[in-house]
Structure 1
């Protein structure tokens, strides 16, 4: 099979790194090399920033909402015709094909959503005194740096890139090295759309962090959008402070799922097992803590253990697989170390996961683990373990359920499972989370804003508010007098 080749896109040209450096792209299901990516640094980042700055300052892109809409719509159409991209996503990321197909469909839908909004960014006009008029305009913020993670590399790219382009910004995309191939393939379709000026779209790949640091520190980058860990988000906030650039940060999560005594335990357990193992547990909104009423605890122990045990772990390209590998060998080591420590410290081990042998031994696989624990202060109840690991806890009443769920530094998402509609709304309102699902989990839409409370981040993604990070509001005043 022909090796893939992900290069930088700078000022309309696909090019290698200045010094020719490359790195390998690896299939996490097998450990095999599937291609190479250009390994850039500060020089390539500065060239991309300069190209984006020039395009913003000299082209009509920021003032052309109809052109931006047409470019986005044509990009979506081109992606829809690329039915091979889901397989490439699975090959490079490891997720099962069902998830890859859903990610591609969701990304295309989001592009079309923001294409519609490109022509609807109204301000307002008013007479503030006799003959004195005040107008407000929503203007593009300028150059946007987008640092994209590897776990959902297409949809998480689009949820930042589509609103940035719709708003009229120019962009530099910095993908995760683990998913540079799918990122380059998706952006190749955009780069070929007529009407997109050179320099509006730039891509710089790297294996280190010099490119990311340049995007954060550069005074020519007006907006920085990052999805990733809480610790890196803190470093970005500190490094970006001297330039006072706008920040959009979606950081960690430790999603709680509150299961009340009137819930269907068997059905809920199956849904929670799927929510906990989506992208092999490598999703910030994945189910991490399951809080169940004490009267149903034993039943949930059996049902959730059985549901997690039934998940078929295997290559994402195999249609029978329910969960693929983790992203790479380092992720397996990091998650497995945390899981092993949790197994030693928890009250009860219900399902002991680990690294499978045999045909899967060469890949980055880790099977699900389920533990039960009472003390919500335990590190494995508080820290985000980015893999297929679930903690089961119990509560005695509604007040304790909310208190336990809110005992965290995070506030990204949660879910409530009950047949009582009033209780569902009461509890959802009391939870300190940016998203709360009722009798469901991990349901995200282009139209609905998401984001975190507390240390889960800044700003909102998706929806109309998703445009806000890429827009500035300008007030224009004129005293024209009275006729």
Structure 2
């Protein structure tokens, strides 16, 4: 397979009203976490830039919201097709800006946005845009101007999961992509324009959360904010948005449990569980970072996990063989290392990895993938989201205790259960979380995605994601 290319757009500006806008003199460098070198720079947006983008979105709303749904669906499908055509560039860009290994970037980072946008477009013909209930005509209509604020771990997927349904619903959008990995937002803007999306229907303002993100959340002409990121930042978005009583949809953090039952295939549960704990270097909100195993099988599970972990090559993310690249930034590297040190200090057993630098990697934001055993359910590493390749193996005595432990964090985004199928489904029903995979069930881009508790509210993907971007009106006759 050909070596990955470098990002083609190294100085993308804002995208406002269908045009690239340079922005002011201040720039935010985009740093390759594998090398520490700048690969691009984007403008540091201001509230004035947000005002201009919101005005463009507001001006475009009347025409786009009344465009026939068949044409809106066709535009979204053409966006999907355009992203598919640019997949190689997208994968290379994401690898360069946030360190996702190139093989994973090709297979997942570049393909999920294609699948989710095509899936959304396919909903249009059968979606109940209008329905009759007694003497009422119930209509689903676009909300208006949507502000979207997205993170760095799946930079394009998280954008498209908002933009595709929002556009199909008839809304217009102002996006603030992450400043850490912002480059694919420019690709999407180009693709959307080529797909025939009217100028102003999709706008991009680069910048930081405290400046651009807060300006979007507070703006009186923004009718909804859809945010994906940390629980801390999501709380702030809610507070800022509350002054204008706009709709807020939040997809936040997670601390997902993989519950391995007595009747599970232990080897499979551990192998698949580790893969889902360390997916994208553990920088995944749904990562199964807690593995709950029967106390009598704890040591065996730990040995299996350590053996599987030895196959996870850490290194240059452009190398086809690399399974874990650098963390997205030096700040994230320091955060993960601090949690690893805390796990040791709190007495957990280090079964693999542990504190220290990665041998042979003198530069880059790398950490040692780590497996802890004998982790107490209330330990810091078992309760807080680490967002790195750190797995906590937690023993339990009874099934009821396992469920209690699984539900014991402030989060409720994802989880897993391994065991005899009917038994596992019965336990999955008891987990207070938005999605549960049973015996390694595959990710479904058309199923609802979102969390309980402090993992957020609302749902993304498929029909449920489309409904998030619609108002409901009843007309009595």
Q: TM-score range by the shorter chain?
A: over 0.9
Specify whether residues 192 and 63 from structure 1 end up closer, same or farther in structure 2 by C-alpha distance, changes over 3 A only: closer
- Out of 76-85 and 286-295, give the one that drifted further: 76-85
Which one has the largest radius of gyration? 1
Q: After superposition, where does 1:290-329 map in structure 2 within 5 Å?
A: 290-329=291-330
CA distance in 2, matches of 1:309, 1:216: 44
Q: Which runs of 5+ in 1 are unaligned?
A: 129-133, 479-483
Q: Which residue of 2 aligns with 1:69?
A: 73
Q: Which residue of 2 aligns with 1:27?
A: 32
Secondary structure of the corresponding residue to residue 314 of structure 2:
coil
- Out of 348-357 and 225-234, give the one that drifted further: 348-357
Question: What is the CA-CA distance between 1:272 and the residue it aligns to?
Answer: 1.8
Q: After superposition, where does 1:97-136 map in structure 2 within 5 Å?
A: 97-101=102-106, 102-119=108-125, 120-128=127-135, 134-136=136-138
CA distance in 2, matches of 1:32, 1:358: 21
Secondary structure of the corresponding residue to residue 378 of structure 2:
coil
Q: Which runs of 5+ in 2 are unaligned?
A: 1-5
- Out of 60-69 and 395-404, give the one that drifted further: 60-69
Question: What is the CA-CA distance between 1:295 and the residue it aligns to?
Answer: 2.0
Secondary structure of the corresponding residue to residue 328 of structure 2:
coil
**2:92 paired residue among 87, 96, 118:** 87
CA distance in 1, matches of 2:73, 2:467: 17
- Out of 360-369 and 248-257, give the one that drifted further: 360-369
Deviation per residue, 1:50-104 (Å, 9 max, x gap) = 11011113x2444421221111111111221123321222121211122212222
Question: What is the CA-CA distance between 1:32 and the residue it aligns to?
Answer: 1.4
Q: Which residue of 2 aligns with 1:477?
A: 476
Q: Which residue of 1 aligns with 2:82?
A: 78
CA distance in 2, matches of 1:76, 1:110: 8
Specify whether residues 79 and 203 from structure 1 end up closer, same or farther in structure 2 by C-alpha distance, changes over 3 A only: same
Contact kept? 1:94, 1:327, Cα under 8 Å: yes
- Out of 271-280 and 246-255, give the one that drifted further: 271-280
Question: What is the CA-CA distance between 1:446 and the residue it aligns to?
Answer: 2.1
CA distance in 2, matches of 1:339, 1:166: 44
Deviation per residue, 1:237-257 (Å, 9 max, x gap) = 111112111111011100101
Contact kept? 2:77, 2:121, Cα under 8 Å: yes
CA distance in 2, matches of 1:332, 1:434: 28
CA distance in 1, matches of 2:212, 2:101: 30
CA distance in 2, matches of 1:60, 1:218: 21
Q: Which residue of 2 aligns with 1:186?
A: 188
Question: What is the CA-CA distance between 1:264 and the residue it aligns to?
Answer: 2.7
Contact kept? 1:261, 1:295, Cα under 8 Å: no
**1:172 paired residue among 154, 159, 174:** 174
Deviation per residue, 1:253-297 (Å, 9 max, x gap) = 001011123323233222222111111111011111110012211
Q: After superposition, where does 1:343-422 map in structure 2 within 5 Å?
A: 343-357=344-358, 359-418=360-419, 420-422=420-422
Specify whether residues 60 and 219 from structure 1 end up closer, same or farther in structure 2 by C-alpha distance, changes over 3 A only: same
CA distance in 1, matches of 2:304, 2:133: 61
Deviation per residue, 1:324-350 (Å, 9 max, x gap) = 111000111112112211211033222
Q: Which residue of 2 aligns with 1:423?
A: 423
Question: What is the CA-CA distance between 1:357 and the residue it aligns to?
Answer: 4.8
